[in-house]
Amino acid sequence: MSRQTLAPAANSNTPTPRTRPRVNFVWIVGLLALAGVIGVGLYTSQVKQDVTSAKAPSFTLPTTDGRNVSLADYRGKNVLLYFSEGAGCQACLVQMAQIEAMQSQFKAANIVVLPIVMNSKSDILADMRANGVKTPFLLDNGTVSTEYKTIGKGMHPGLPGHSFVAIDSKGMQRWYGEYPSMWLEPKDLLSKAKSVLGV
């Protein structure tokens, strides 16, 4: 009688040699995609700064308290423009509230902070009241935000990012800072502004 070698019974739980490489490939592709997402997130959340020396674009904008404000009104003072998404962005309003809490220190450095948003008056006023912000916001139709190159630097393509522009007492732009994390410690902001403005 011839001796036969019986093949082991097929086990449906045992991956075939063809299945295992396919599973490994899927895992590798998934990990590479995840690494790409993390890399993009880290890159886009990085602070971007630019020390400049150029004439700041002039502007005149209406404010939430019913006035019209021009950059030229502040000649002789240092100006810090604060561009943000404004209404609906809690971090943006908290940032302004914290800057406002240090108003005396900014004033001592001869620095005026002008917050600029692309919101309707009623929308930003509601958020100002909710966060106890008193400083009037300047209402931009997009022209000023575009001239200062802040559009699309935040979470929304058509709105300004969380950005600051320092302008000296002679109307020269000295610094631009972009903060995708939507926050800059006010004491660090004051220190940076004083440094670039030489005050």
Three-class SS state of 169? coil
**pLDDT at res. 194:** 98
pLDDT tens for 149-171 read 999 887 888 999 999 999 999 99
Helix axes 90-101, 186-197, angle to 10 degrees: 70
Q: Is residue 37 part of a domain?
A: yes
Q: Is residue 9 part of a domain?
A: no
What is the sign, positive or negative, of the torsion defined by CA atoms of 157, 60, 197, 65? negative
**pLDDT at res. 198:** 95
Question: Domain check: are 109 and 42 in the same one?
Answer: no
Q: Is the overall model pTM greater than 0.85, yes or no?
A: no
The active-site residue, picked from 61, 69, 80, 92, is: 92
Question: Domain check: are 115 and 193 in the same one?
Answer: yes
Q: Is residue 10 part of a domain?
A: no
**pLDDT at res. 42:** 34
What is the sign, positive or negative, of the torsion defined by CA atoms of 101, 86, 88, 177? negative
92 is an active site residue: yes
pLDDT tens for 18-52 read 556 665 666 555 555 444 433 333 334 688 998 98
pLDDT tens for 100-155 read 999 999 999 999 999 999 999 999 999 999 999 999 999 999 999 999 999 988 78
Top pLDDT among 87 and 39 is at: 87
**pLDDT at res. 27:** 58
Pseudo-torsion of CA 188, 192, 195, 199, nearest 10°?
Answer: -70
CATH number reported for the structural domain that contains residue 136 in this entry: 3.40.30.10
Q: Domain residues for 30? A: 17-46
Question: Domain check: are 66 and 135 in the same one?
Answer: yes
Q: Is residue 4 part of a domain?
A: no
